[in-house]
Amino acid sequence: MKSDEFVLLGAIVKPHGIKGEVKVIPIDTDVLRFQNLNEIYIGSEKQSISVEGFKNSGKFAILKLKEIDNIEDAMALTEKEIYSTISNRPTLDDGKFYISDLISLKVKDLYTKKTGLVANVETYPANDVLVCKFENSIAKIPMIKEFIKEIDLEDGLIIVETIDGMIL
């Protein structure tokens, strides 16, 4: 990946208060990833905007954005996605990964000995699910320790151990 590529962090849900703050839902459950961001990119046009403040509001982040000083300006940003550049995105804890880093990784199954590629990652409240394309099938593999044995971003490989019938 190039350092100037963008990664999706979340989306603006609605204004928060009357002074231009916005309520953001992260793409995952980690609202603290917004805490140290100085700059974000908004919408499909990737409009650059400085972050002046952060508040943790449970499963949401409240952001104060530069030059967004009233509810009307904040309302105009409702439902817009928030991005960061790959080079400036927040660092994740060990064992956590950006979805964009997992897409297109090689998948090797210890049970069937088949290999494939990660086509997508679906997010659910309980856990994320890898959508993997194998030669003649698609398998959905829950991202839990029982199935995911190793994720090696450097080598571009995910080792999984499925059960009978998971990969046809």
Structure confidence at residue 168 (pLDDT)? 67
Q: Output the DSSP codes for 73-142.
A: HHHTTTT-EEEEEGGGSPPPPTT---HHHHTT-EEEETTT--EEEEEEEE--SS--EEEEEETTEEEEEE
For residues 17-34, give the mean pLDDT: 88
Q: Give the integer Cα–Cα distance in Å for 87 and 1.
A: 10
Element (H, E) at 149: strand 148-152
Report whether pLDDT(3) > 60.
no
Residue 1 has pLDDT above 50, yes or no: no
Checking DSSP bridges between strand 137-142 and strand 39-42, what pairing results, if any? unpaired
Instruction: Identify the top-confidence range among 52-61, 121-130, 159-168.
Output: 52-61
> Cα–Cα distance between 71 and 92 in angstroms, integer?
32
Percent of the chain with pLDDT over 90: 67
Predicted TM-score (pTM) of this structure: 0.64
Amino acid at 103: I
Instruction: Find the mean pLDDT for residues 8-34.
Output: 90
Q: Is the pLDDT of residue 77 over 90?
A: yes
Tokens of 17: 């208060």
